[in-house]
Amino acid sequence: MKKILSNETLSSFCMEMSLLLHAGISTGDALFLLAEERKNWKLLFDLAEQADSGESLSAVLRASGAFPPYLCGLIEVGERTGRTEEAMEAVSRYYDSRVRLERQLHSAVLYPLMMMFLMLIIIGVLLMKVLPIFNDVYASLGGSLTGVAGGLLRMGQWLENAMPIVWLILAAVALFGLLFAVSASARAGVVSIWKKCFGDRGVSRKISNARLAQALSMGVASGLPLEEAIALSAGLLEGAAKKRCAECQSRLSEGEGLSAALRFSGLLPASQRRLLELGQRSGAGDVSLKKIAQDLTEESEAAIEALVSRVEPTLVIACSVLIGLILLSVMLPLSNIMAAIG
Q: What is the CATH number of the domain that holds 17?
A: 1.20.81
35 vs 110, higher pLDDT: 35
Is the separation of the CB atoms in 137 and 153 below 8 Å? no
Question: Does residue 1 lie within any of the structural domains?
Answer: no
Parent domain of 196? 100-342
Amino acid at 73: G
Is the separation of the CB atoms in 213 and 289 below 8 Å? yes
Task: Count CB neighbours of 163 within 10 A.
Answer: 12
Is the separation of the CB atoms in 43 and 10 below 8 Å? no
CA atoms within a 13 Å half-sphere pointing along the CA-CB vector of 339? 6
H helix intervals, the chain? 7-22, 27-37, 42-52, 57-64, 69-80, 84-125, 131-140, 147-161, 163-182, 184-198, 202-221, 226-233, 239-253, 258-265, 270-282, 285-341
- Long-range contacts of residues 8-13, Cβ cutoff 8 Å, at least 24 apart: 8/95, 8/99, 10/67, 10/68, 10/71, 10/91, 10/92, 10/95, 11/92, 11/93, 11/94, 11/95, 11/96, 11/98, 11/99, 12/92
Mean pLDDT of 263-280: 82
Q: Which of 201, 234, 189, 187 has its CA nearest to residue 215?
A: 234
176 and 300 assigned to the same domain? yes
Which pLDDT value is given to residue 339? Answer: 63
Question: Does residue 298 lie within any of the structural domains?
Answer: yes
Q: What is the DSSP letter of 234?
A: G
Q: Compute the distance between CA of residue 256 and CA of residue 79 in angstroms, rounded to an integer.
A: 30
pLDDT band, very low/low/confident/very high, at 143 (cuts 50, 70, 90):
low
Indicate whether 111 pLDDT > 80: no
107 and 84 assigned to the same domain? no
Which pLDDT value is given to residue 25? Answer: 87
Q: Which of 215, 13, 272, 223 has its CA nearest to residue 94?
A: 215
In sequence order, the 6+-apart residues with CB closer than 8 A to the CB of 174 are none
Per cent of the chain over pLDDT 90 is 0
108 and 76 assigned to the same domain? no
Measure the CA angle with vertex 269, ends 266 and 275; round to 5°: 115
Maximum distance among all Cα pairs of the chain, rounded to whole angstroms: 98
Which pLDDT value is given to residue 236? Answer: 66
What domain count does the chain have?
2
pLDDT band, very low/low/confident/very high, at 1 (cuts 50, 70, 90):
very low
24 and 118 assigned to the same domain? no
132 and 260 assigned to the same domain? yes
Polymer length of the chain: 342
Q: Compute the distance between CA of residue 311 and CA of residue 300 in angstroms, rounded to an integer.
A: 17
Q: Compute the distance between CA of residue 258 and CA of residue 270 in angstroms, rounded to an integer.
A: 14
Question: Does residue 2 lie within any of the structural domains?
Answer: no
Per cent of the chain over pLDDT 70 is 84
Three-state SS for 8?
helix
174 and 282 assigned to the same domain? yes
Mean pLDDT of 284-303: 82
Last residue of a domain, one of 75, 96, 117: 96
Which pLDDT value is given to residue 188? Answer: 63
Q: Compute the distance between CA of residue 292 and CA of residue 10 in angstroms, rounded to an integer.
A: 23
49 and 115 assigned to the same domain? no
Q: Which of 255, 282, 254, 260 has its CA nearest to residue 273?
A: 260
Average pLDDT across the chain, whole number: 78
Indicate whether 336 pLDDT > 70: no
pTM over 0.95: no
Q: Compute the distance between CA of residue 117 and CA of residue 166 in angstroms, rounded to an integer.
A: 12
301 and 186 assigned to the same domain? yes
246 and 335 assigned to the same domain? yes
Last residue of a domain, one of 72, 96, 120: 96
Q: What is the DSSP letter of 83?
A: -
Q: Compute the distance between CA of residue 52 and CA of residue 31 in angstroms, rounded to an integer.
A: 10
255 and 267 assigned to the same domain? yes
216 and 92 assigned to the same domain? no
Indicate whether 232 pLDDT > 80: no
Question: Does residue 87 lie within any of the structural domains?
Answer: yes
Which pLDDT value is given to residue 196? Answer: 64
CATH number at residue 105: 1.20.81.30
Last residue of a domain, one of 96, 127, 154: 96
Amino acid at 291: K
Question: Does residue 262 lie within any of the structural domains?
Answer: yes
140 and 224 assigned to the same domain? yes
| 163-217 pLDDT per residue, tens | 788 778 878 877 876 776 666 666 666 666 666 666 567 777 787 787 778 778 7
User: Picking from 85-99, 134-148, 260-274, which range would have the lowest pLDDT averaged per residue?
Assistant: 134-148
